[in-house]
């Protein structure tokens, strides 16, 4: 502290000399004469030092300090200077931010994402906090475990994103085109998914994902789900309903395959119940290394078509091909198998209904009779045994 005080006395003298020669137009170097001192602090103990090298490397290096610190008119400047207003130059970004979910400039000043104002570099520079590969870390400061967002009741999403296929591509493989936070949410104009104009609102999700996955979304829009969404049926699934938003895994991964059927089943309840009665489901529920048919293995995933559409993989004409993908030797009789048979529906499958009924009656009658038979026998045999032992005789 003491050395700072001494400097505070010495340095103004030097600056006065410089000011006398250069006049009132202060250049960056004038200010840096004092502010390049790494230990320089203001009255409240806050650092007011500027790293000269980093500033010169920054995107703002060509600017004079007073262009941002506009309240400083000369030297000596007042102890308290006005806050820098970035919107003076960045008016578009500022107006976008003002209507976004991050509108409170107190909670979300520009520097909360862009970092130290004197060190800002262009977003294509790997040192930038908003460089594609650094975005998850930057957003994760608030949207990670224990971050500010949790205090507002928002889930910690950054760690889940990092484990997702997008996060893997971005952080592990360094793939610049991999989706990061801003690819879907935007940057300055981030809106709640409840806002219908948000790129993450349900209606807009196909369009948002389609920025990268154009072919898949085109397929999706041709299928029943895409058409329903386009016609305003908001209960139809969009990309994130099946793939999730932040936990997206590879669709061929066992984890995704296992989680996918209940997702389809959350709407197609009757189909899910009947599917669960089949061997496909029974074996598939146990987890492991052999795959059994999931909904989309037969029905298709993105371009789901009605059964009567000749292009549908479950159209009767295509069943031999579709079933044959797993079942080598599938034939016309084989594909008559009902993957959604209901053994309790007499009208739809009478043969199955009666076979199931017969088996149930057989099970019930054989077991009831023999359970009764066994219980009575046990009691009688035990009584007999007690009697015999009282008499000192033999068993039974």
Partner 1 sequence: MSNVDKTLSTQAATTEAPTQERYFQRFTSAQRWMHVILFTTFLGLAATGLPLRFSESPWAQMMASAVGGRGAILFFHKLCAVIMTLAFLNHVKDIFVSAFIRRQKGVFWGPTSMVANFKDAKDLVMHMRWFVGLGKRPQFERYAYWEKFDYWAVFWGMVIIGFSGYAMWFAPFFSTFLPGWALNAALVIHSEEGLLAILFIFMIHFVNTHLRPGSFPMDMVVFTGVESEHEYKTKRQLEYDRMVKEGKLESRLGTAPQKWEINVSRVVGFTAIAIGLTLLGLTISAYFY
Taking the least distance from each CB to partner 1, the nearer of 63 and 253 is: 253
- Two tokens, residue 163: 């484990």
Q: How far is the CB of 253 from partner 1 (least distance, A)?
A: 14
Chosen residue from 61, 285, 307, 387 binding partner 1 by CB under 8 A: 285
Distance CA 88, CA 99 (A): 17
Q: How far is the CB of 364 from partner 1 (least distance, A)?
A: 9
Q: Does 387 bind partner 1 (CB under 8 A)?
A: no
Taking the least distance from each CB to partner 1, the nearer of 83 and 289 is: 289
Rounded to 5°, angle at Cα 149 from 143 and 153: 125
Chosen residue from 62, 289, 310, 390 binding partner 1 by CB under 8 A: 289
Chosen residue from 29, 307, 331, 387 binding partner 1 by CB under 8 A: 331
Q: How far is the CB of 365 from partner 1 (least distance, A)?
A: 10
DSSP character for 168? I
Taking the least distance from each CB to partner 1, the nearer of 123 and 327 is: 327
How many residues touch partner 1 under the rule CB under 8 A: the total is 56
Taking the least distance from each CB to partner 1, the nearer of 53 and 358 is: 358
Cβ–Cβ < 8 Å for 18, 31: no
Long-range (24+ apart) CB contacts under 8 A made by 26-35 are 26/64, 26/65, 26/66, 26/72, 26/74, 26/75, 27/64, 28/55, 28/61, 28/63, 28/64, 28/65, 30/75, 31/65
Per CB under 8 A, the segment of 50-58, 91-99, 226-234, 324-332 that binds partner 1 is: 324-332
Chosen residue from 168, 281, 307, 387 binding partner 1 by CB under 8 A: 281
Q: How far is CA 76 from CA 42, 64, 118, 204, 261, in A?
A: 14, 17, 21, 54, 71
Q: Does 279 bind partner 1 (CB under 8 A)?
A: yes
Taking the least distance from each CB to partner 1, the nearer of 5 and 336 is: 336
Taking the least distance from each CB to partner 1, the nearer of 13 and 393 is: 393
Long-range (24+ apart) CB contacts under 8 A made by 205-209 are 205/238, 205/239, 205/240, 206/238, 206/239, 208/184, 209/184, 209/239, 209/240
Taking the least distance from each CB to partner 1, the nearer of 213 and 356 is: 356
Distance CA 154, CA 240 (A): 18
Query: Hey, is 41 helix, strand or coil?
Result: strand
Q: Rg of the chain's alpha carbons, rounded to an integer?
A: 36
Taking the least distance from each CB to partner 1, the nearer of 175 and 320 is: 320
Q: Does 377 bind partner 1 (CB under 8 A)?
A: yes
Q: How far is the CB of 281 from partner 1 (least distance, A)?
A: 7
Binding mask 239-278 for partner 1 (x = CB under 8 A): -------------------------------------xxx
Cβ–Cβ < 8 Å for 153, 128: no
Taking the least distance from each CB to partner 1, the nearer of 56 and 380 is: 380
Q: What phi-psi label fits residue 76: left (phi over 0), alpha (psi between -120 and 50 degrees) or beta?
A: beta
Q: Does 370 bind partner 1 (CB under 8 A)?
A: yes
Helix%, strand%, coil% for the chain, nearest 5: 55, 0, 45
Q: Does 315 bind partner 1 (CB under 8 A)?
A: no
Residues 333-352 that bind partner 1 (CB under 8 A): 333-338, 341, 343, 349, 351-352
Greatest C-alpha distance within the chain: 131
DSSP character for 287? -
Residues that bind partner 1 (CB under 8 A): 276-279, 281-290, 292, 327-331, 333-338, 341, 343, 349, 351-352, 355-356, 359-360, 362-363, 366-367, 370-371, 373-374, 376-382, 384-385, 393-396
């Amino acid at each position: 502290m003491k050395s700072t005080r001494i400097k505070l006395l010495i340095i103004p003298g030097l600056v006065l000399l410089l000011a006398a020669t250069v006049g009132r137009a202060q250049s960056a170097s004038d200010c840096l004469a004092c502010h390049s001192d790494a230990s320089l602090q203001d009255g409240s103990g806050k650092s007011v030092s500027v790293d000269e090298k980093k500033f010169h490397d920054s995107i703002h290096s060509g600017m004079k300090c007073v262009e941002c610190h506009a309240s400083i008119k000369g030297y000596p400047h007042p102890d308290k200077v006005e806050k820098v207003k970035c919107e003076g130059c960045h008016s578009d970004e500022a107006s976008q931010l003002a209507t976004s979910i991050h509108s409170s400039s107190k909670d979300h000043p520009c520097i909360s994402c862009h970092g130290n104002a004197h060190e800002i570099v262009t977003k294509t520079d790997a040192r930038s906090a908003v460089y594609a590969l650094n975005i998850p870390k930057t957003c994760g400061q608030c949207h990670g475990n224990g971050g500010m967002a949790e205090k507002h009741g928002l889930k910690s999403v950054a760690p889940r994103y990092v484990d997702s296929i997008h996060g893997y591509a971005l952080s592990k493989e360094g793939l610049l085109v991999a989706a990061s936070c801003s690819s879907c949410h935007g940057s300055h104009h981030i809106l709640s998914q409840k806002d219908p104009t948000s790129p993450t609102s349900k209606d807009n999700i196909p369009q948002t994902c389609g920025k990268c996955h154009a072919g898949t979304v085109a397929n999706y829009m041709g299928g029943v789900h895409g058409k329903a969404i386009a016609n305003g049926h908001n209960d139809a699934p969009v990309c994130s309903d099946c793939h999730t938003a932040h936990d997206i895994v590879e669709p061929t991964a066992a984890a995704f395959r296992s989680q996918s059927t209940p997702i389809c089943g959350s709407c197609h309840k009757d189909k899910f119940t009947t599917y669960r009665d089949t061997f496909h489901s029974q074996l598939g529920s146990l987890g492991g290394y052999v795959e059994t048919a999931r909904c989309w293995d037969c029905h298709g995933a993105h371009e789901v078509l009605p059964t009567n559409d000749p292009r549908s993989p479950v159209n009767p004409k295509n069943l031999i091909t579709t079933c044959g993908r797993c079942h080598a030797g599938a034939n016309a009789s084989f594909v008559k198998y009902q993957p959604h048979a209901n053994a309790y529906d007499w009208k739809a499958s009478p043969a199955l209904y009666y076979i199931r009924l017969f088996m149930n009656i057989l099970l019930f009658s054989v077991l009831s009779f023999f359970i009764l038979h066994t219980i009575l026998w046990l009691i009688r045999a035990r009584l007999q045994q007690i009697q015999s032992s009282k008499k000192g005789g033999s068993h039974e």
